[in-house]
Amino acid sequence: KAGVTQTPRYLIKTRGQQVTLSCSPISGHRSVSWYQQTPGQGLQFLFEYFSETQRNKGNFPGRFSGRQFSNSRSEMNVSTLELGDSALYLCASSLEKGYEKLFFGSGTQLSVL
Amino acid sequence: AQSVAQPEDQVNVAEGNPLTVKCTYSVSGNPYLFWYVQYPNRGLQFLLKYITGDNLVKGSYGFEAEFNKSQTSFHLKKPSALVSDSALYFCAVRDDDYKLSFGAGTTVTVRA
């Protein structure tokens, strides 16, 4: 069974641009969540989607948004990029809502210049 | 709001010695606790979880964790560490609203 796939693996953008990251969950998984990982802030929760609905959202500005499609694939978008948005963005999927383990992708490394 | 604390940024042990990575939590409802490990240039991998039941939870790669409600702790342990256990370890808590919060992470270095 294929794991969680995130594309692209690396991205370089400049300030003010926008970016879209993609995540394909494990087949059959309906819950997708996104996290930002930085050396200074650690792992921070962005949002979680289940059956195309955003179920939970972290403390990030409105420039960060996401969506989930009917096939459970998810995208997150960051508009008006800032230098501080440079980070590793991780996507995770799980079968259902609740308490079972998350399966993480390898992440998208975003660098904002 | 829930939170997780990992008081040690780094843990260094010799191969064959016991390994402990500490975690304390704060959550308003029932705690659902997890440990994940991250190897260099990789995503996180699930090690184990506590939902309910036995306070001693056994997980992958010989790891186990002990849930202590009175001390609000969930320490990760391995009786005999391997060099290959060197990685970044995260404790996480998920509250009743399904929101997951991670600790800052503990870098484990196991020397041969």
* pLDDT tens profile A15-71: 999 999 999 999 999 999 999 999 888 899 999 999 999 988 889 999 999 999 999
* One-letter amino acid for residue B48 of the chain: L
Which of A31, A33, A43, A47 is the mutation pick for testing B, counting most B CBs within 10 A? A43
pLDDT at site A39: 87
In this prediction, residue A97 has a pLDDT band, given cuts at 50, 70 and 90, of low
Which of B34, B41, B97 lies at the smallest CB-CB distance from A56? B97
Q: Say if A4 is an interface residue toward chain B (CB within 8 Å).
A: yes
pLDDT of B10 > 90? The answer is: yes
User: How far, rounded to the nearest angstrom, does the alpha carbon of residue A8 sit from its chain's CA centroid?
Assistant: 12
The C-alpha atoms of residue A61 and residue B7 are separated, in whole angstroms, by 29
The residue of chain A nearest to residue B100, with distances taken between CA atoms, is: A45
- Whether residue A107 and residue B43 make contact (CB cut-off 8 A), yes or no, is yes
Alpha-carbon distance of A57 to A45, in angstroms, equals: 7
Does position B69 have pLDDT exceeding 90, yes or no?
Answer: yes
